[in-house]
Amino acid sequence: MGTGQTVTVYGAYGHTGRFVVTHLLERGFVPVLAGRDADRLKELAAATPGLEIRQASVDDPAALDDALAGADAVINCAGPFATTAAPVIEAALRAGIPYVDVAAEIEANADTFAHFADRARELRAVIVPAMAFYGGLGDLLATAAMGDWTSANEAIVAYGLSSWHPTAGTRTAGAVSHERRGGRRVRYANGQLEYHDNEPTVLAWPFPAPLGTRDVVGEFTMADVVTIPSHLSIPDVRTHMAAEAARDLATPGTPAPTAADDDGRSDQTFLVDAVVRSGDLERRAVATGQDIYAVTAPLAVEAVHRILTGRTRTVGVASAGEIFDAPDFLRALSPHITFELSR
């Protein structure tokens, strides 16, 4: 549990940010509500009395410094992260506090590793990008499956989502990434990110029970292609997406998620199947749960808790699987996530 430590949540009024604020309170932390929109901050503060608000734009370093002043850590929930990650990281480095974000944007995460790795290591700072459903969870699962292997031929993370009602932030982030790629698709193969114009393929993926074999869109590439190879010696990393969820995301009229329980979670369920292969050998780790946006909150907050209590394995820019004990971290997420490992 937190001990009254203060965590600034940048983008606190967003869909995922609200879940993060609630979970911080449940864990005994004191959230500071920060973001670009003063009116939305005031609205959130009215719904969560007693919490401080600090308005700050990413193009105002002094305001960002004020937003992080006195905080023990910062969680950045404000996309698009191509715009927000670097300025908030810079502010965290000036403040001397850990930085965690929930970025799902492939290029934004790659930028964080490329631009901040050396400086963060020299400062012994902690920066954990993609500490979310996409990027963080898949990396933890692949790392847990990898176990004592020092290398593998390939890793595949297959996402069995019952549906995908995207938030406005997801759509904006997707548009930014699409523009950065010039409309091309991306994959991680031969030890590097490759951009290509190949059409997506549909294949049958043998999900474990209770899901069973389902159609997935192959190489529906997510942030795992940045996080997993950042620390695991795997030259080919692929992610697949349940066909029905991919259709939801591609349909402009698909509505945003709506609450289906008292915790504000939607009725969306997920099964994430991470498979690591080395020669003829295969290892698997599986996670199940409800609502990909809501489950990001325990992922990010558990990360902050472990960083602040010294339960980390490295410093600098590091993905979840590198900086944390992956199986232990995944088990700590119960009851939000059910985790199974088979080797």
Question: 139-194, pLDDT tens digit by residue?
Answer: 999 999 999 999 999 999 999 999 999 999 999 999 999 899 999 999 999 999 99
Could you tell me which CATH number the domain at 134-292+329-342 has? Answer: 3.30.360
Cα of 283 vs its chain's centroid, Å: 23
Q: What is the mean pLDDT of residues 216-244?
A: 97
pLDDT at 10: 98
pLDDT at 342: 85
pLDDT at 1: 64
Q: What is the mean pLDDT of residues 239-243?
A: 98
Fold of 6-132+296-326: Rossmann fold (3.40.50)
pLDDT greater than 90 at residue 108? yes
Hey, which residues does 241 pair with through a beta bridge?
159, 217
Q: What angle do CA 153, 155, 156 make, to 5 degrees?
A: 140
pLDDT at 319: 98
pLDDT per position as a tens digit, 13-48:
999 999 999 999 999 999 999 999 999 999 999 999
pLDDT greater than 70 at residue 73? yes
List the chain domain ranges. Answer: 6-132+296-326, 134-292+329-342
pLDDT greater than 90 at residue 264? yes
pLDDT greater than 70 at residue 257? yes
Question: Would the pTM count as exceeding 0.85?
Answer: yes
pLDDT at 166: 97
pLDDT-derived band of residue 3, with 50, 70 and 90 as boundaries? confident
pLDDT greater than 70 at residue 293? yes
Q: Which residue, 96, 94, 130, is CA-closest to 113?
A: 130
Q: What is the mean pLDDT of residues 95-111?
A: 98
